[in-house]
Structure 1
Amino acid sequence: MKIGVKILPLIICLAESNYFICGPDGVCLCDNYNRMDCSNTYFSIREICEFIGNIAKYNVSVLHLERNGYKSIEYFDLQGCDKLHELFLGDNNISSIGKDSFINFDRLKLIDMSNNTLAIYDETVQHTFKFPLSIKILMLNGNLNVNISGQTAYPDLSYLTHLEVLNMDGLRNKVFPVTYRKIKKLHTVTLSGLNGNCNISHLTNVSLQNLPHVRTLNLSACNIENIHAGAFKNLPDLEILDLSQNLNLGFRMLRNISYSLQFTKIKILNVSKVHSTFGMGTRLRKRDLCYLWNTTLTEILLNSNRIQLIETNALIMIPESLNILQVEDNKFTFGPYLLQLGCMSNLEEFYGNFQNTAHNPILYEKEPTGNVNELINGYSDCPFMQNSFLQNISTLKEYCPFFENDKIDTKKDWPKFPKKLRRVEFAQCDMQYSLTSFPIFPLPVYMEYMDFSGNILHSWIGPIGPFPNLKYLNLSRNYCSHVGLQFFDLIGSVENLQLQENFLGLVLSDENKGPFIFIKMVNVKCLNLSSNIISYLPPSIFSTMSKLETLDLSVNNIETWTIDVNTLNNLVHLNLKFNFFQTLPAVLRNKLESNSERLGKQFTIDLRNNTFTVSCNGKEYLKWMVKHAHNMLHFKDYIFHDKTGAALSVEQFVKEVRHLDNECRSYTLIIVFCSIGISVFLAIVVGGFLYRNRWKLRYLMRLTKVKHFGYTKLHNGLNEPEHFMYDAFISYANEDLRFILDKIIPKLEEHEMKLCIHDRDFLPGNNIADNILEAIRKSRKTVVILSKEFLKSKWCLYEFNMARMESIYSREGDNCLLVVMFENVPTGNMSTEMLQWIQSNTYIEYTTEEEGNLLFWENLKDALSE
């Protein structure tokens, strides 16, 4: 009995997936999709099939038996497995299969016999077994016996009339037998040397003629050196052709390949790595691409071919049907062909990553040292490469110039891009440039995705574009340290902006530049600023990004959250790992919660490798963190310390935070109550003092202001300070102005008294309070016309109190305040200060009686003449 072989994998799988233990002795794995995996168990096929046949509850339809060391299969071994749909027996040592082993397998659709030692390609061996007639997918690759010498042939599978997919080894200079024409449903044939053995060498016009129904043909890594011009002509339904990793093929064979593809329905052509990795740089010529013009290709793969140049006018022959072009891992340099990119008028996707890549030199000895086919004469009888034809096509294609004799006018021949291009990838290409202003023509209205990561685009000045519909932009890993204020102005439609692993910290922290860099990026939903040496960000740096959902500020040097989140109404995902945060402000926490509730999305925060200490200072944040532990990504990996600095596990941290209220309550209450008590006492004392001396303080403040900041006091030409400009300053309510104009001014000024009337004599433009204080100080007396309206005016009361203060503090005891009781005023309406003054000083009552009126004016003149 074999036990314990899969115990560890079982534990891992069970912990991480929906698999459960099954099979004999519980060494296999099953899932809810009726799949059983008994690979690497070394249990016999018979034991496993008996288990499946006896335990009907599993209803197994897919069985994996790879890598079990099986050497043969007999009829009795498979009893119980006859209800299977798929059977995988690859990577064993099976050399024989008993007759009628699959006789009862009427449901089997797939059988994998790859990488065994079946002699299925040996003509001298008589095979007694047959695969089930129901088979649709058959994998026989990796069974080619290297000891067979000259007696190889493709097996007769004509009885498998339902066969659709066939994986086999590719035999050198062998033709598929005519019997394969009977397999009319066979649409995919793989002879690749990547997952088996393939050594075809030469493809002639008859090698594949008996596969007329094939739509997908994989001949990768088959050591092909030569392909005849009619090799694929007899495959009219061919749509996908993979000739990659045939290092001896070279580009000169493209002429023959493309010639026969004219007669197919070809959609995808893969000729990646057909040039030696360490050979000289190569050039795509017109003769190589000539017949492509007459094909229906939608995608071409030319990766890993050390392409340096494309012959001028060659791109004119790219078929209009082409949508996708892959030219990764080459070494393109500048040439006129760059001005003809617009000739690919319907190109939608361009992949040019990994240009100028350095390859592992250990691979050199495993590759051919040169490409013989590169030396073939450049002459071609292809009619599509004639200048007259190319010139005519260029005129029919918009933005597709024709250059005769490589003559270029740099003033008018500006780079033009495929007008339907929507995706461009040019990552990790070792481009070292500063991105200055670069106009794009024609307007790239379809462009949605651009990836220029992993280059050395060290300065982004811009603006670039416009790209009115660009959604994804990746400029990460570019060593950039400078961003111009206009760089993003023409790409405001971007929703996913990847800027990680640059040096943007300094420019973003600049208060004069940082807030304006992203001001036009109003549609961004995902922003990645990870690894940018950021220590500070201005509050308004993301103020226009109201649609921002995911913000990544990980792996920086940020200690405090300074960003204003008031406009970030969609922010729900925040990555702050590997920073120096100890707390997050309440405004950010509240914003995340409100956004989450409103949008119906769970907010997430990643704070790994930030340190959190259990203390009363950060109690509210720590409690919030524990409450929302399910929102904290990888919460168990956070760093927690107690007050002494000792490390805490997540369980210990949660426990201590829950006890913080009791621990911090006493100190908090004492501090709060003491602070409140002291504050109230001081407020009462200070308030009482200020209220009691309020007019004195206001007077002294005004006096100080006038002294230090006011105008120089006028002395009417005299130097003595006791001389005044006015005999009296008349203080009155505006409602009593008629009395002042009709009585006071005429009666007093006829006796040559000079009066100060605020409607007439106040200096325009000065502060009212300053004018009042100057009038009182420049007048020998201040006459208050006391009335009910006077008591309602704040400025009248101000004039009274300022005159009272002047009498007390500035006239050496001389009373300069004279009150005229213009009408009977209830004492209850008077302020305390006014009532005290009336009670302790003589005032004059105004009356309209004839005798009393004469006495009033005499008393008033006498009082003002003192």
Structure 2
Amino acid sequence: MPLVHPYGFRNCIEDVWTPWHFRCIQRFLDSPAPAVSDLPPHTIALNLSHNIMRCLQPSAFARLPQLSTLDLAYNQLDTLSPGAFNGLRVLEVLNLSHNQLTTLAEGAFSSLANLSSLWVQHNPLSTVSPTALLPLVNLRLLSLRGGWLSGLGEVAVAVQGLAQLELLDLCKNNLTTLGPGPPLPASLLTLLLCNNSLQELAGASPEMLQHVKLLDLSYNNISRAEAFAPLYLRNISLLHLIGNPLDAFRLLNISDIRPRSLDFSGLVLGPDGVDKVCQRLRSPQALQRLQLQHNGLNALHYEALQRCPVLRELDLSWNRLQQLGCAVRLLRKKQQEELEVLTVEHNLLKKLPSCPGGQVLPRLHNISFRYNRILTIRPRAFAYAPALQVLWLNINSLVWLDRQALQGLHNLTELRLDNNLLTDLYDSSFTDLGSLRTLNLRNNHISVLFSRVFQGLSELETLDLGGNNLRHLAAQSLLGLPRLRRLYLDRNRLLEVSSNVFAPVQATLEVLDLQANNLQYISQWLHQPPPFRYLSRLRDLKLQAQQPYGLRMLPHHFFQGLVGLQKLSLSQNMLRSVLPDVFEDLGQLYFLTLADSSNGMHDLPDGIFRNLGNLKFLDLENVGLHSLTLEVFGNLSQLEVLRLARNELKTFNDSVARQLPSLRYLDLRKCPLSCTCDNTWLQGWLNNSRVQVVYPYNFTCGSQRNAYIHSFDTRVCFLDLGLYLFAGTAPAVLLLLLVPVVYHRAYWRLKYHWYLLRCWVNQHWRREEKSYLYDSFVSYNSADESWVLQKLVPELERGAFRLCLHHRDFQPGRSIIDNIVDAIYNSRKTVCVVSRSYLRSEWCSLEVQLASYRLLDERRDILVLVLLEDVGDAELSAYHRMRRVLLRRTYLRWPLDPMAQPLFWARLKRALRWGEGEEEEEELGGGTEKPREGDKQM
């Protein structure tokens, strides 16, 4: 057995980086049992989401007493049996979201005293048993969002005993009333009731919400402020009412809600609403945050917020502002000194004008103008915010950025200009941004980077230029970036990269993203210096998915200089061939992926990983591998994760497994592993406990659906195949040796017995036949045909004898053998006209043999021999069968003397007329010659 000992589970995968955390998603499980049955009892987290479970039986997870997180989301659960979670005394998080639960019944959560978070979101939940949640004494978060609950009172009854509950989410239900019901637990600080049908708040006791700090009643269609009058809202710190047609000021007049606790977003403010809000909020104390979202604001005039208290954050998102001017003009002197965050997202701003020096917002450090329609930014547009650190201008329509638009922002550390329409960057655009650390220019239309365009960004660490139209990088494009660590150039149109481009950042660059460009190499040799030869500190290089057909060739020394590289991504490149020395400089590499190259690369060359002694993660999924060899994988002693799914592997060599002592995770899914003796060791390998093999019990034997690697019969692999092969082949060899000998020595004997058998069969079916079609069958050789047709046939047929002749009476189309047999058995006698030609004829010999068989079988004289020529014993010795017949049977000799011929015909006719019996033989014998045994002359 190899040094590496794996294990696996039928329906689950253990997280390779987090031990005892299991995923069993999308396994078509209709109950937890198939997943839980083979998991270790010390399992900590279990994800069973995206299956088809309908019911949880009692004690379904009792085998996992250490389970702390259980995810059952996206199933079809409609029933939780009492005691379904028995044994899970340390469970802390339970997710039942996106199921079909209609009720939470009593006893469903028994033994879950340690549970702190329960998610039952998006179920058709209509009822909650008053005692269903009582066992959850440590519950802090309860989410029933997206159900069909109709009243808060029912839920209040169910949660009144939960002394630790801090958050209750009932958004997106069908709540129409808050009561009647008991007060909510004193520990409950956050109550979310958004997206319901609460038009009135009647039925709730004044004390019901007295402990709540954050109350969300958004999108409930509450139109009457009087509905809040009976409620105790004094202790609420934040009340969200967006989406309700409420008069905010009437609400403040009627209820006891404090103005600073009310979120004015989405409320009816009237023509002078902002001014009125500021008057209500005015106080010597500074206001932490003012939100005026969804208020339909079209414009803010000069000093529009001057009556507001001192603000820390101002949020004007989701309005219809088309211009804002210089934000400093909206505030009075005292306010200008305290504002820190300005957010104006999802408005209709079209431009940012120039703001000359003068009044400033000295503490403003964060501005967001995302999701607007800004086309241009004028010079010194942010001069009012000299302390600005974060500026978000992304997701606009920005086509022109003035050279001096960002002038004066010496403290800016993050600038987002992504998802705009910028085409050009100027060398002086970023001159004043000496503190900038992150610059995001992703998804614009930049096609050229001029030299020194980033001059002055001495502190920049992250530059994102992904998703642009760059085709070429000038030699000094990155000049002036001495601290650049992360460079993203993905999804551009780069045709090549040069080492001179990266020379200015060689001492600091750690991450380089070049994926989805147009890099192509058609030769195994570079025609210029290696592109990364200066990047000795680079840690992460992404080259996957080059367009349009992938990076098909990696030239010699392509990665030369990357002595510190740790992660390399080459997936989705359709590599046709990988040279053995291509990775020889990457001695520090620990992550490598070549996945999804099956249309190009196949088996890897020997020695390709010989210098990757530190490699820990290797992804070779869907690369077309046919075999694993020691020459390829023999030096990966530190490898921990190996992905080989969707390859053409039929075997996994045990010698390779022995050379991977650090392996912890192996993925062989969808490989056509065969049930052969080469894979017998896998059965024992899969029953140990060191390396996780993904779904090992699903590995079928190639195309055989019902045969599995873990259980196929291996007994044949341990038999003495040599003995069985000898026993099987020796008889065949002997038979092949004997057949020619038997054929040569006993061909006619075998053929004779074969014909005898056929005759016996035919005679058996004719045994009861009493009448004959012919008086005689005439057997002769074609050489004697003239005598037969001119003398024998005329003479006998004149005597009323019916003769059977070959040429006249045989049935056309039938086998000759069948015709002969029928002729013999349908004739009373058989006349054999014997001559030297007759003796040499195989067919004549066969006819004599068949007639002899009938003679022996019927025991009557049916054979009449006529000798046309004198045949000596010496001549007969070669025809022993005919000699035996002539020695034992009476025969007639054709006389040459014409005077003796009438007697010959009389005897022949008499022989044909006589039936059975000794008298016939005696009379016939008186006029014939009958040789004795041993006579020399016939």
TM-score (norm 1): 0.58
**Other structure's SS at 1:96 match:** coil
**Other structure's SS at 1:574 match:** strand
Counting only pairs closer than 5 Å after superposition, residues 324-723 of structure 1 correspond to structure 2 as: 324-337=414-427, 344-356=433-445, 415-428=478-491, 430-440=492-502, 442-443=504-505, 445-458=507-520, 462-464=530-532, 466-479=534-547, 480-503=551-574, 505-508=575-578, 514-532=579-597, 533-562=600-629, 564-592=632-660, 594-596=661-663, 603-625=664-686, 627=688, 631-635=692-696, 638-641=698-701, 645-648=703-706, 653-656=709-712, 659-660=713-714, 662-667=715-720
Letter paired with 1:222: N
Q: Does the 8 Å contact 2:645/2:671 carry over to 1?
A: yes
Counting only pairs closer than 5 Å after superposition, residues 152-167 of structure 1 correspond to structure 2 as: 155=252, 166=263
Q: Does the 8 Å contact 2:435/2:457 carry over to 1?
A: no
Letter paired with 1:418: L
Q: Does the 8 Å contact 2:458/2:480 carry over to 1?
A: no
Counting only pairs closer than 5 Å after superposition, residues 48-197 of structure 1 correspond to structure 2 as: 48-53=155-160, 55-56=161-162, 59-74=164-179, 76-98=180-202, 101-103=205-207, 105-119=209-223, 127-130=228-231, 132-144=233-245, 155=252, 166=263, 168-169=265-266, 174-175=273-274, 176-182=277-283, 184=285, 186-192=287-293, 197=294
1:300 alignment partner in structure 2 = 391
Higher helix proportion:
1
2:341 counterpart (240, 250, 253): 240
**Other structure's SS at 2:711 match:** helix
Q: Distance in 2 between matches of 1:353 and 1:441?
A: 23
Q: 1:314 to 1:201 in 2, by over 3 A?
A: closer
Q: Does the 8 Å contact 2:601/2:624 carry over to 1?
A: yes
Q: How far is the alpha carbon of 1:535 from its aligned partner?
A: 0.8
Letter paired with 1:419: P
1:224 alignment partner in structure 2 = 321
Q: Deviations over 1:732-786 (max 9, x none)?
A: xxxxxxxxxxxxxxxxxxxxxxxxxxxxxxxxxxxxxxxxxxxxxxxxxxxxxxx
2:934 alignment partner in structure 1 = none
Q: Does the 8 Å contact 1:303/1:328 carry over to 2?
A: yes
Structure 2 segments unaligned to the other structure (5+ residues): 1-53, 56-73, 86-90, 109-124, 447-453, 461-472, 728-938
Q: How far is the alpha carbon of 1:433 from its aligned partner?
A: 2.6
Q: Does the 8 Å contact 1:349/1:422 carry over to 2?
A: no
Q: Distance in 1 between matches of 2:540 and 2:341?
A: 30
Q: Deviations over 1:158-209 (max 9, x none)?
A: 97679689472265762123232449575344444xxxx3421112344444
**Other structure's SS at 2:657 match:** helix
Letter paired with 1:140: L
Q: Distance in 2 between matches of 1:43 and 1:209?
A: 45
Q: Does the 8 Å contact 1:350/1:424 carry over to 2?
A: no
RMSD of aligned alpha carbons: 4.5
Q: Does the 8 Å contact 2:555/2:582 carry over to 1?
A: yes
**Other structure's SS at 2:673 match:** strand
Q: Distance in 2 between matches of 1:520 and 1:182?
A: 67
Q: How far is the alpha carbon of 1:576 from its aligned partner?
A: 1.4
Q: Does the 8 Å contact 2:298/2:320 carry over to 1?
A: yes
Q: How far is the alpha carbon of 1:89 from its aligned partner?
A: 0.6
Identity, in percent, stands at 17
Q: Does 1:18 align with 2:94?
A: yes
Q: Does the 8 Å contact 2:182/2:208 carry over to 1?
A: no
Q: 1:567 to 1:481 in 2, by over 3 A?
A: same
2:144 alignment partner in structure 1 = 38
Q: 1:552 to 1:117 in 2, by over 3 A?
A: same
Q: Does the 8 Å contact 1:164/1:185 carry over to 2?
A: no
Deviates more, 1:534-543 or 1:156-165: 156-165
Q: Does the 8 Å contact 2:520/2:552 carry over to 1?
A: yes
Deviates more, 1:264-273 or 1:29-38: 29-38
**Other structure's SS at 1:516 match:** coil
Q: 1:521 to 1:411 in 2, by over 3 A?
A: closer
Q: Distance in 2 between matches of 1:468 and 1:157?
A: 70
Q: How far is the alpha carbon of 1:349 from its aligned partner?
A: 2.4
Q: 1:502 to 1:411 in 2, by over 3 A?
A: closer
Q: How far is the alpha carbon of 1:263 from its aligned partner?
A: 0.9
2:772 alignment partner in structure 1 = none
Q: How far is the alpha carbon of 1:309 from its aligned partner?
A: 4.4
TM-score (norm 2): 0.54
| More RCO (CA 8 Å, sep 6+) | 2
Q: Distance in 2 between matches of 1:396 and 1:469?
A: 20
Q: How far is the alpha carbon of 1:275 from its aligned partner?
A: 1.9
Q: Distance in 2 between matches of 1:260 and 1:97?
A: 51
Q: How far is the alpha carbon of 1:219 from its aligned partner?
A: 2.8
1:758 alignment partner in structure 2 = none
Q: Deviations over 1:505-530 (max 9, x none)?
A: 2241xxxxx23332222222221221
Letter paired with 1:267: H
1:249 counterpart (334, 349, 354): 349
1:271 counterpart (340, 353, 369): 369
Q: Does the 8 Å contact 2:487/2:511 carry over to 1?
A: yes
2:409 alignment partner in structure 1 = 319
Count residues with an aligned counterpart: 579
Q: Does the 8 Å contact 1:45/1:78 carry over to 2?
A: no
Q: 1:574 to 1:412 in 2, by over 3 A?
A: closer
Q: Distance in 1 between matches of 2:286 and 2:726?
A: 89
Q: How far is the alpha carbon of 1:347 from its aligned partner?
A: 2.5
Q: Distance in 1 between matches of 2:457 and 2:95?
A: 60
Q: Does the 8 Å contact 1:272/1:304 carry over to 2?
A: yes
Q: How far is the alpha carbon of 1:612 from its aligned partner?
A: 1.8
**Other structure's SS at 1:47 match:** helix
**Other structure's SS at 1:534 match:** coil
Letter paired with 1:665: F
1:199 counterpart (296, 303, 328): 296
Deviates more, 1:323-332 or 1:460-469: 460-469
Q: How far is the alpha carbon of 1:252 from its aligned partner?
A: 2.6
